[in-house]
Amino acid sequence: MAQQHNNSEEKVRLDKWLWAARFFKTRSLATDAITGGKVHLDGQRIKPSKAAQIGQILTIRTGFTERTVVITALAAKRGSATIAQQLYQETPESIEQREQQSKQRQVANLSMSRERGTGRPTKKDRRKLQDWKKGD
């Protein structure tokens, strides 16, 4: 009976592993991401039922970020965040690329924001205008 338990741990569905590794909040979101082409295994599209194996390289896109990770351990149950981080190792290139994209987004957000008081009047400005109009 103990041998069967070990065999079942060796074969973990990728959607289950992604959920256990905390890349997605629910297993159905992980399944949708895989079927939607947001998760690639060694550069290939996959099915949610594909068995995860140690050493495989996954490319996972969530929102604006894309991570490339190597599976280092298997888990079928969702544990704490510290345990989930031990299930994979992100490649150095992926970390660097994510940081660069984050900096680019920050610069873009700064250029989109406006200086305080340059657009719509603030409450203080409106009060000044009202006082000025009443003074006439």
18-61: pLDDT as tens digits: 999 999 999 999 999 999 999 999 889 999 999 999 999 999 99
Q: What is the structure's pLDDT at 119?
A: 75
* Whole-number pLDDT of residue 5: 39
Check residue 111 and give its pLDDT.
66
What is the spatial distance between Cα 3 and Cα 10, in angstroms, rounded to a whole number?
11
Residue 64 scores a pLDDT above 70: yes
The pair of three-digit structure tokens given for residue 54, joined into one six-digit string: 């140690």
**Mean pLDDT score of the chain:** 85
Sheet (strand 88-90) strand order? 44-45, 39-41, 57-62, 65-71, 88-90
Helices (H), the chain: 2-10, 14-20, 27-35, 81-85, 92-112, 123-135
* Residue 15 reports pLDDT greater than 70: yes
Tell me, what's the pLDDT at 113? 64
Q: What does the chain come to in residues?
A: 136
Judge whether residue 1 has pLDDT over 60: no
pTM, 2 dp: 0.71
The reported pLDDT for the residue numbered 67 is: 93
Q: Which domains does the chain have, with CATH numbers?
A: 1-92 (3.10.290.10)
